[in-house]
Structure formats: C-alpha cells, structure tokens
Amino acid sequence: MKTIKAKVSNMNLSDYESIDKYLIGIKDNLSLITSSDKTDLTKHNDLIIYIFTHLKQCKVTPFYQYISRLHIQYLEASLPDLTPTKLLQLAEDKIQVLRHADQWTKSEDLAIMALKARLTQQKHDSDLTIQCLVAHVGRLAQRTLKGGPQDQSMPTNAKYPAWMIQPPHPNQNTQLVDNKIYTWCTKYRHGQGLWVC
C-alpha cells in the first residue's frame, strides 16, 4: 500500500500526454488501495495535497483557477468531506463543463511567452551577426586570394557595374550604394581605379 501511495504522490501531470490520462492513472492506483467501505474512503486523504499540486500544473486558465479555489477551500477546512476520489470527480466534471463551453484552451505562461520572444530576437540578432561575419570573411578571403588591393594582375576587363568603374567627381571620395559605403581606390584595375566597399 505504501508503494502505491508513494507512486500516486509522485505522479506528475507533466509525465502524461493529457490530463485525462493522468486522472485515469491516479484512479487506477487509488482503486488498488481503497475499498467500497465508507470508513476506508478518508484513509488516504494525505494524497489530496499531492493531487491538488499536480492538477495545478494544468495550463488551462479556468481549470487552474477552479482547482486553486478548491485547494484554498480545502486548506481553510471548508471541504471536510473531500477525499481523493471526490477531488478527481470534481476535476473530471469541471473538465467536461469547460470542454462543452469551449473554454478548454491552454494559455501559455507569460514567462514562457517572454522567453520565446527573447529567443526569437536572439535568433534574429545571431542571423545578422552571421551575415556580417560571412561578408567580412568573404572580403578577407578575396583579398588573400588576389593578393590584396596592391595586386596589379587583376584583369581590366573584369565585369563590374558601370558605377563601380566611373571615377569620382572632384572632392568625392566615398559614396553610398545599397546601404554600403564605397571608397574610390586607384590601386585596382591597373591603376584605373574602382569603388570598393
């Protein structure tokens, strides 16, 4: 009997796929240690606190509020005839009512919602950082492979957009194109110059 009571006290709602399966599991174990004798029904009332604790893990707000109210009433001794079996029956009845009233929808904990928003923001920030790193490494790799800006072996007929080979106007050393700042460098294209990022 002690092992079954210990099992019931450790049966967490989170270990089950649904609250229905949790309730069935609890009832099955209670049936092994209770008899139909009315004096035996209150013998296992020490399990009530555990069952309340587990039922309050449910994320359906109206059900959680109902169980919390019952728990407070029980602690205030307003429910002297409450037994584990009666508590489970009250829980099942409330679940059925909430389902018929279309109120059985899980609400996410505010902390979980905030954490999800933060993770989404971090993923976005990480993606931007990775894009910047890839662009920077790409430019470094290009410089290394081509010998840097001093390399005079670069073919003059390389295909560049027209604006990249157009020399700057007087007093114009930089220009903004596609949110990138380009500088005129005369060391590219055999001294003919090129706008480089």
Regarding whether 155 and 92 lie in a shared domain, the answer is no
Q: Place 158 in a pLDDT band, splitting at 50, 70 and 90.
A: low
Q: What percentage of the chain reaches a pLDDT higher than 90? A: 17
The pLDDT assigned to 154 comes to 47
Whole-angstrom Cα distance, residue 105 to residue 63?
Answer: 10
Regarding whether 82 and 17 lie in a shared domain, the answer is yes
Q: Is residue 135 part of a domain?
A: no
Whole-angstrom Cα distance, residue 108 to residue 32?
Answer: 36
Q: At which of 83, 100, 117 does a domain end? A: 100
The residue-averaged pLDDT of 96-122 equals 79
Tokens of 119: 């993770």
Q: Could you tell me the residue range of the domain that residue 191 belongs to?
A: 151-197
Regarding whether 29 and 95 lie in a shared domain, the answer is yes
**Nearest-5° Cα angle at 93, 87 to 94:** 90
Indicate the helix (H) or strand (E) that contains 117.
helix 110-146
180-185 sheet: strands from edge to edge: 174-177, 180-185, 194-196
The pLDDT assigned to 30 comes to 83
Q: Are 67 and 58 in contact (CB under 8 A)?
A: yes
Regarding whether 96 and 13 lie in a shared domain, the answer is yes
Q: How many domains does the chain have?
A: 2
Q: Place 101 in a pLDDT band, splitting at 50, 70 and 90.
A: very high
- 3-state DSSP helix/strand/coil percent for the chain, to nearest 5? 55, 10, 35
Q: At which of 100, 126, 159 does a domain end? A: 100
The pLDDT assigned to 147 comes to 56
Regarding whether 90 and 11 lie in a shared domain, the answer is yes
Q: Place 195 in a pLDDT band, splitting at 50, 70 and 90.
A: confident
The pLDDT assigned to 109 comes to 58
Q: What is the mean pLDDT of the chain?
A: 80
pTM of the full structure: 0.50
Whole-angstrom Cα distance, residue 195 to residue 197?
Answer: 7
Q: 52 vs 191, which has greater pLDDT?
A: 52
Tokens of 101: 């009233």
Indicate the helix (H) or strand (E) that contains 190.
none
Q: Is residue 144 part of a domain?
A: no
Regarding whether 10 and 96 lie in a shared domain, the answer is yes
Q: 77 vs 160, which has greater pLDDT?
A: 77
Q: Which amino acid is at 106?
A: K
Regarding whether 88 and 6 lie in a shared domain, the answer is yes
